[in-house]
Amino acid sequence: MGDKPRVATAWLQGCSGCHISFLDLHHELLDVFELIDLKASPIMDIKKVPEVDVALVEGAVSNSENREVLKEIREKAKILIAFGTCASFGGVAGLRNLYKMEDVLTEAYKNSPSVTGGELPGSPAIPKLLSKVYPLHDVVAVDYHIPGCPPLPGMIKEILIAVLNGEQPVLSNRSLCEECGRKQSEMLIPKREFVTNSVAALMELEEIDETACFLEQGILCMGPATREGCHARCMKGNVPCRGCMGPAPGALEQGTKIVNALASILPAGGLMFMEDIVGTGYRYSLPVSIIPSIRGNEADE
């Protein structure tokens, strides 16, 4: 027992989905526990992280507590892995960076339809909300990333074992189109024409072809601007990619890159009318954008 690498997991601003995905390894968890000595984790009773070899941290940094906990884990862990999309790119909750912090607080505590006579929290016992959501690597040095919302159980296992063996975990640099497997036809014809005349929302269509490229059906899909590695689970469920694996490493960010690409694939008028370009392009990765927040959200000290 004493010889096994010591591992801890923790979550910050997340939904625990990454941990659930870890548990989804089911019987394979036993293989993992053969190799590691899990010292602390939200899924067991010890939550305070001791000195460890490897720490997996789920969730983004959104408040002062997240930040404090993360810094402590960084000090105690030899290797720190950003576990999942929130930890790597800020995740869905990072979309609050589109608003000023005061507006976010007012909306949540005062204006929300479920609130009457609400007040902004002022108690010193409550962690202070940071002006914006940060990925882990904005706060501390991160050694590896496991992207995905949530990451595939197998991917978690593979990367963890590689790191334990002192190997460099391998992630693809390509986009999701490579593993999607849907049939492309218009997209591959070297002719300057939009692949379809109209842009449609998913629920508008009576039927969605389960085998054809979503873009060719006029459905906005983030696949081209998203890193592969998720085994195209959504597409197999007949849902277009929403971009949770984050940008491909050759791109600086996701939102502008999908705009650049879509301009020659789908009619811009339809896109502007039908889609929330910002929300779609940055759904999971706004905090790693070139400009990660609305102006006026001062840097947190």
Partner 1 sequence: MKAGLFFSSCGGMLEQTIDLKSLADEFASQVKTMVVGDFLDSKDISDIIRVVREEKLDAVVLAGNSPEEYTDSRQGRLLVDMLEDVGINPNKIAYVNLKQQVALVHRKDPVSQQKAVLLTRVALARIEEAHPVQMIRVAPRNTVAVLGKTVEGWLAAAQMLKRGLRVYLIGQTEEEMPPTLAPVKAFVELNPKTHLMEGYKVIDVYGWAGDLTIKIKSNKDEITVDVGAILVASNKRREDVEELRTILHLDTDQDSGLLVPLTMDSRMVETIEEGIFIIPNLETLDMLMRVALADAASLAVINLLEQPELLHKNLVSEVDESKCGGCGTCVKTCSFQASTVDPVRRVSQIDLRRCKGCGNCVTSCPTGARDLLTYPLAYLLKAVEILAEFGEKGEPKILALLCEGCGYKSVDDAAQANMEYSPNILPLGVRCGGAIDTQLILEAFNRGFDGITICKCADGHCSNIVGNTDLDRRANLFREILRSRGINDDLLRIVDSGGRGDNYCVNTLVQLFEAVKSGEVTR
Cα separation, 89 vs 281, in Å, equals: 13
Q: Determine if 271 is a binding residue for partner 1 (CB under 8 A).
A: yes
What is the smallest separation between the CB atom of 19 and partner 1, expressed in angstroms? 30
Quote the CA–CA distance of 177 and 143 in Å, as a whole number: 27
* Distance, CA of 82 to CA of 143 (rounded, Å): 8
Q: Which stretch binds partner 1 (CB under 8 A): 23-31, 57-65, 145-153, 249-257?
A: 249-257
291 to each of 94, 97, 286, how far by Cα in Å? 12, 10, 8
Pick from 29, 35, 38, 98 the residue near partner 1 by CB under 8 A. Answer: 98
Comparing CA positions, the residue from 59, 117, 106 lying closest to residue 86 is 59
Q: By C-beta, is 35 or 268 nearer to partner 1?
A: 268
Q: How far is the C-alpha of 50 from the C-alpha of 70, rounded, in Å?
A: 13
| Interface with partner 1, residue 160, by CB under 8 A | no
Contact set for partner 1, span 187-226 (CB under 8 A): 187-195, 223-225
Of 149 and 221, CB closest to partner 1? 221
Cis peptide before 135 (omega within 30 of 0): no
Binding piece for partner 1, criterion CB under 8 A, among 61-69, 113-121, 141-149, 245-253? 245-253
Binding piece for partner 1, criterion CB under 8 A, among 75-83, 137-145, 156-164, 284-292: 284-292
The rounded distance, in Å, linking the Cα atoms of 198 and 264 is 13
170 binds partner 1 (CB under 8 A): no
Per CB under 8 A, does 44 bind partner 1?
no
